[in-house]
C-alpha cells in the first residue's frame, strides 16, 4: 500500500520514499546489468599447427599468431585447473584470466598497466616494504646476460630500445679487443631479430661469424618450410661473383614501381651505381677521384642504358662495358664521327678543345687514371670477383641475409676492403628498394637490421674512403633500418692524416646512440674522454677485463655428455679438457645517451645449444689441432 504523509516542513512524502529511507525497498532504482563474458572456444590441434607455421614466418602476422597461441595455452591451463579442483562451494569458482578473475568481486580489469617504478635511496625505500626491489636494468630486447652488480637479467638491442623510446636512433657501435665475445654478441642480436620479425642482414661475414648459425637454422627448418628462411651467399675466388653496378638488386626491385615513382627511383639507382663503382676505383687508385672522372662514369652508364637494349633495370651493365664506352670516344673523335652519346662523354670529361686533335689529346690525358683503374677491375683478381653478374642477388623476402666472404684471401687487404664496401652498398640499396615497394603498397612494411663488421678495414685503405663509406652507409630512423657497427678500438677512427677524414670518421662513433664496450686497454679508455662519459670504476673495469688469465684462475671444464660420463671418461689439464679463460671473457659495458649516467656492466652467457654447436668458438682450428696432438 502506498500512502501520503506530511513531514514537519509541510511537504508530502510517499510511503515508498519512507521505505527507501528505511532501507526496506529499492524504489525505482533500476537493477544494474552485468555484462556476460563470452566463453572463447579452444583451438583444435589443426588450428594450432597452422598458427605455429604462421608464427615462424615472423612479422606482424607471426606476432599475432604467437599471441593467439599463448592465449589458447592459458585457456587450456585454466580449463585443466577447473577440472582438477573440487567444488567446495554452492556456486562455481570464478574463472581466471590475464586481467583478473572473471565475475563479481574478481577485480577484472580491461587493461593491466605496468606498475610505475620509482628509484630512491635505501634509507627511504624500506618505507614501501614489501614492494621494493633492487635496481636493475630493464629486460628489453635480446637477452644478453646478467648484470654484474645486481645479478639481474639484461636485455639489449638497438631496434628494441629505439622502438621503446630508450634511444633516439637504432644505431649501435661495438668496440673491443679480439677474442672477448664481440662475435657472440652480434649473433645474439641477429638471432633475436629473427625471433621478433626484424630481418638481420650481415653484409660481409669475414670469418664467418654468422653463417654457421644461419645454416643450422635452415637445417632445422627443412621439415616445416618449403624454402630456407635464411639466404646465405658466398663471394670469393671460385665462389659467387658480385657486380657493383647491380647495387643489391635495386633495379630489379624498383621495376615493380609505377611509372612516375620508377623514374624517380632510377635517378637514385644511377647515383648508387656511380658511388659503388667509383668507390672501388678509389680503393685501387689509393686516392680520391676528381669530379670530372665521377661525371664521366655517370655519363658512360647513362650511355649504356640509352644506346643498347642489352641492359635494363633487371640486367645492369658490367665494369667492362663502362670501360668499353670510355675507350670508344677517342676512336670516334679520330674518325670525326662522334655521335650524340659520345659527345656527352667528351663534355663530361671536360676535354673539349678548339680542334679535334686537342680534344682527343686532352680526353686521353684526363681519362688515363680512370681507364687504368677500370682495367684493373676488369682483369686480374678484381675482375674474377666484380666483372660478372651477381651470382646470388639479395632476396629481401628472406628472414635473414648473410654474405659469406671468408673465401676472399685475408692477405689481400685492398680486395677484402673492396668486397666489404660492395657488400655494404648492396645491402643498404636493397633495403631502400624494399622500403620504396612498401611505400607504394606493393609489399608489407619490413624492418631491417644491418651488421657491419671489420669497419676499420675499409676506413684504413686510404684518403677518401671515409667519405665513400659515410655516403654508402648513412641511414636514418625514418626508413626503418637499424645499424650495428663492429670494430676494435677508437684509434681506428682517428688514424688519418687529414683533419677532415678524422672528423668524418668520428662522426660514425658520435651518431651511434648506443655504445657497447668489450675489454679495452687503459690507454684506449682514456682516448674516449670527451666522446663518452666513463667514470673511474668503468675505466678500471675495462682495463682489468682485458688482462690475460693467470695460472691461479679457475679453469673452465668442457662439458661431458651423459654417455661419456657413464663410460667413466674424465678430462684433465694435460688432455686439453681444461682451459683457463681471460677474466673479461663475455663481459661488456653498455652506454647510452650523452649524460653522466653509469653504463650497464653485463656478463654474457653462452647457452648449452650454442656451446654444443660451437658457434662461439672462433679458435676451432687450435682446438682441432690439440685433439690431433
Assigned domain for 63 exists:
yes
Q: Is the bond preceding residue 208 a cis peptide, omega within 30 degrees?
A: yes
Phi, psi of 61 (to 5 degrees): -65, -40
Question: What pLDDT shows up at residue 23?
Answer: 46
Assigned domain for 471 exists:
no
Q: How far apart are CA 163 and CA 480, in angstroms?
A: 10
Q: Is the bond preceding residue 130 a cis peptide, omega within 30 degrees?
A: yes
**Which set of grid coordinates corresponds to residue 383?**
675482375
pTM, full prediction: 0.72
Of 3-17, 63-77, 232-246, give the lowest mean pLDDT range: 3-17
423 confidence band (pLDDT: 50, 70, 90): very high
What does 230-277 look like in DSSP terms, one character per residue? EEEEEBSTTSB---GGGTTTHHHHHTTS-HHHHHHHHHHHHHHHHHHH
Question: What pLDDT shows up at residue 442?
Answer: 92
- 592 pairs with which residues across the strands? 514
Q: How far apart are CA 32 and CA 16, in angstroms?
A: 20
Question: What pLDDT shows up at residue 332?
Answer: 59
477 confidence band (pLDDT: 50, 70, 90): very low
Asked whether the predicted pLDDT for residue 625 surpasses 70, the reply is no
Closest CA to 518 of 480, 551, 549, 490: 490
**Which set of grid coordinates corresponds to residue 106?**
574478481
Assigned domain for 67 exists:
yes
Assigned domain for 56 exists:
yes
Asked whether the predicted pLDDT for residue 264 surpasses 70, the reply is yes
Q: How far apart are CA 213 and CA 221, in angstroms?
A: 12
Asked whether the predicted pLDDT for residue 622 surpasses 80, the reply is no
Assigned domain for 66 exists:
yes
In the 8-state DSSP scheme, what is residue 449?
E
Assigned domain for 143 exists:
no
pLDDT tens, residue by residue, 555-601: 555 555 666 656 665 554 444 445 566 788 899 999 987 777 888 99
Phi, psi of 17 (to 5 degrees): -60, -40
Return the percentage of the chain with pLDDT > 90, whole number: 26
The answer to whether the beta carbons of residues 239 and 272 sit under 8 Å apart is no
For 334, the enclosing helix (H) or strand (E) is helix 319-334
Assigned domain for 289 exists:
no
Of 91-100, 243-252, 315-324, give the lowest mean pLDDT range: 91-100
Domain coverage including residue 68: 45-86+93-102
Domain count, the chain: 1
Q: How far apart are CA 564 and CA 158, in angstroms?
A: 42
Question: What pLDDT shows up at residue 5?
Answer: 46
Q: How far apart are CA 248 and CA 203, in angstroms?
A: 11
How many residues appear in the chain? 629
- 588 pairs with which residues across the strands? 602
**Which set of grid coordinates corresponds to residue 628?**
690431433
114 confidence band (pLDDT: 50, 70, 90): low
Burial class (CB in 10 A: 0-12, 13-18, 19+), 230: buried
Closest CA to 230 of 222, 238, 240, 239: 222
Assigned domain for 312 exists:
no
Question: Is 479 in a helix, a strand, or coil?
Answer: helix
Amino acid at each position: 500500500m502506498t500512502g501520503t504523509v506530511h513531514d514537519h516542513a509541510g511537504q508530502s512524502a510517499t510511503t515508498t520514499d519512507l521505505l527507501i529511507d528505511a532501507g526496506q525497498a529499492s524504489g525505482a532504482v533500476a537493477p544494474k546489468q552485468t555484462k556476460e563474458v563470452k566463453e572463447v572456444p579452444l583451438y583444435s590441434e589443426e588450428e594450432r599447427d597452422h598458427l605455429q607455421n604462421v608464427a615462424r614466418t615472423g612479422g606482424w602476422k607471426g606476432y599475432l599468431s604467437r599471441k593467439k597461441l599463448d592465449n589458447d595455452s592459458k585457456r587450456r591451463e585454466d580449463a585443466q585447473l577447473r577440472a582438477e579442483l573440487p567444488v567446495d562451494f554452492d556456486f562455481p569458482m570464478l574463472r581466471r584470466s590475464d586481467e583478473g578473475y572473471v565475475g563479481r568481486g574478481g577485480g577484472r580489469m580491461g587493461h593491466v598497466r605496468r606498475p610505475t617504478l620509482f628509484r630512491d635511496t635505501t634509507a627511504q625505500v624500506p618505507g614501501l616494504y614489501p614492494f621494493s626491489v633492487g635496481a636493475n636494468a630493464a629486460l628489453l630486447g635480446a637477452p644478453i646476460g646478467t648484470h654484474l652488480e645486481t645479478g639481474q637479467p639484461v636485455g639489449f638491442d638497438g631496434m628494441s630500445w629505439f622502438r621503446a623510446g630508450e634511444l633516439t636512433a637504432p644505431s649501435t657501435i661495438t668496440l673491443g679487443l679480439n677474442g672477448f665475445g664481440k662475435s657472440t654478441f652480434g649473433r645474439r642480436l641477429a638471432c633475436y631479430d629473427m625471433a621478433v620479425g626484424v630481418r638481420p642482414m650481415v653484409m660481409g661475414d669475414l670469418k664467418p661469424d654468422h653463417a654457421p648459425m644461419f645454416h643450422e637454422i635452415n637445417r632445422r627448418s627443412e621439415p616445416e618450410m618449403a624454402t630456407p628462411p635464411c639466404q646465405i651467399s658466398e663471394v670469393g675466388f671460385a665462389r659467387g661473383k658480385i657486380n657493383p653496378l647491380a647495387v643489391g638488386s635495386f633495379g630489379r626491385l624498383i621495376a615493380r614501381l609505377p611509372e612516375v615513382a620508377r623514374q624517380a627511383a632510377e635517378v637514385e639507382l644511377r647515383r648508387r651505381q656511380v658511388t659503388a663503382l667509383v668507390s672501388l676505383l678509389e680503393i685501387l687508385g689509393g686516392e680520391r677521384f676528381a669530379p670530372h672522372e665521377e661525371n664521366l662514369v655517370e655519363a658512360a652508364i647513362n650511355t649504356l642504358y640509352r644506346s643498347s637494349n642489352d641492359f635494363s633495370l633487371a640486367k645492369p651493365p658490367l665494369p667492362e662495358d663502362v670501360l668499353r664506352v670510355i675507350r670508344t670516344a677517342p676512336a670516334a673523335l679520330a674518325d670525326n664521327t662522334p655521335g650524340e652519346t659520345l659527345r656527352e662523354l667528351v663534355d663530361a670529361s671536360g676535354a673539349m678543345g678548339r680542334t679535334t686533335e686537342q680534344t682527343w689529346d686532352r680526353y686521353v690525358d684526363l681519362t688515363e687514371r680512370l681507364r687504368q683503374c677500370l682495367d684493373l677491375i676488369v682483369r686480374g683478381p678484381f675482375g674474377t670477383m666484380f666483372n660478372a653478374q651477381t651470382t646470388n642477388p639479395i632476396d629481401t623476402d628472406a628472414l635473414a641475409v648473410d654474405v659469406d666472404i671468408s673465401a676472399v684471401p685475408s692477405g689481400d687487404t685492398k680486395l677484402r676492403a673492396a668486397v666489404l664496401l660492395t657488400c655494404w652498398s648492396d645491402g643498404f640499396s636493397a633495403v631502400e628498394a624494399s622500403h620504396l615497394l612498401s611505400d607504394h603498397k606493393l609489399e608489407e612494411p619490413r624492418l631491417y637490421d644491418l651488421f657491419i663488421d671489420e669497419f676499420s678495414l675499409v676506413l684504413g685503405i686510404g684518403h677518401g674512403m671515409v667519405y665513400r663509406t659515410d655516403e654508402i652507409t648513412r641511414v636514418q630512423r625514418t626508413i626503418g633500418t637499424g645499424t650495428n657497427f663492429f670494430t676494435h678500438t677508437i684509434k681506428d677512427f682517428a688514424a688519418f692524416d687529414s683533419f677532415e677524414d678524422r672528423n668524418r670518421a668520428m662522426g660514425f662513433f658520435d651518431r651511434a646512440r648506443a655504445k657497447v664496450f668489450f675489454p679495452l686497454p687503459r690507454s684506449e679508455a682514456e682516448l674516449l674522454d670527451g666522446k663518452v662519459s666513463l667514470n673511474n670504476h668503468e675505466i678500471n673495469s675495462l682495463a682489468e677485463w682485458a688482462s690475460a688469465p693467470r695460472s691461479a684462475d679457475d679453469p673452465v671444464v668442457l662439458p661431458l655428455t651423459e654417455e661419456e660420463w657413464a663410460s667413466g671418461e674424465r678430462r684433465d689439464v694435460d688432455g686439453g679438457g681444461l682451459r683457463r679463460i681471460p677474466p673479461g671473457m663475455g663481459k661488456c659495458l653498455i652506454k647510452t645517451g650523452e649524460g653522466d649516467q653509469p653504463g650497464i656492466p653485463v656478463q654474457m652467457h653462452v647457452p648449452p645449444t650454442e656451446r654444443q654447436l660451437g658457434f662461439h668458438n672462433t679458435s676451432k682450428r687450435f682446438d682441432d689441432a690439440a685433439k690431433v696432438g
